[in-house]
Chains A and B, each alone.
Chain A
Amino acid sequence: GAVVSQHPSRVICKSGTSVKIECRSLDFQATTMFWYRQFPKQSLMLMATSNEGSKATYEQGVEKDKFLINHASLTLSTLTVTSAHPEDSSFYICSARDYGRGQETQYFGPGTRLLVL
């Protein structure tokens, strides 16, 4: 099946710094990717929809200036957490949408663990 990678797998940063997380579709092109956030023992919360070549669509309550999304190519979307604070510590997961055999499927990355000190 299709593979989605994320880099880094985990990152520790100081409060006030910015962190960039990459999401790549390795063997397919994805015009649409999604970014989720998952708190411990909780479900995935959709943060934004990343569209290649256009602005991301953010879910209600998600600060677009805080979580910058860039989808510059058909295989790469990046999420930048700007001026990170401890409350931004979380597990960030991306997914990429693929059309195969006439069906649309979302493939998920392994996630990135962010810890802000």
Chain B
Amino acid sequence: AQRVTQPEKLLSVFKGAPVELKCNYSYSGSPELFWYVQYSRQRLQLLLRHISRESIKGFTADLNKGETSFHLKKPFAQEEDSAMYYCAPGGTSYGKLTFGQGTILTVHP
């Protein structure tokens, strides 16, 4: 069965501090990995995908197949990064996504 674990439900950091949101997955085949973000009162939106290997809003995520992890990192957190973050591996079956429980990130001034 597909499974995604985001161990931290809440994560608080101060502005300028590094932040890492953890994600571990158990998935058959070779999934594509995504991070989605939901800012307050906004809809869910794609933050980044592992295939692109790009940095969005200063965030990066490295896929570690050995550890089956896809942690999201940012070296210097900003207050506007405060949001709910979801890790979501996707399969090839019509592009279905499996969402983790989500991590609420709060960046304090």
**Residue tally, chain A, CB below 8 Å to B:** 22
Taking CB atoms, residues of chain A closer than 8 Å to B100 are: 43
CB-contact partner of A111 in B43, B52, B94, B98, under 8 A: B43
CB-contact partner of B86 in A44, A45, A103, A109, under 8 A: A44
B interface SS class: loop
CB-contact partner of B94 in A44, A51, A110, under 8 A: A51
Q: How far is the CA of A105 from the CA of B52 in the complex (A)?
A: 12
Closest B residue to A93 by beta carbon equals B44
Taking CB atoms, residues of chain A closer than 8 Å to B83 are: none
A interface SS class: strand
In the complex, are the beta carbons of B96 and A42 less than 8 A apart? no
Chain A residues at the B interface, C-beta cutoff of 8 Å: 32, 34, 42-46, 49, 51, 57, 93, 95, 97, 103-111
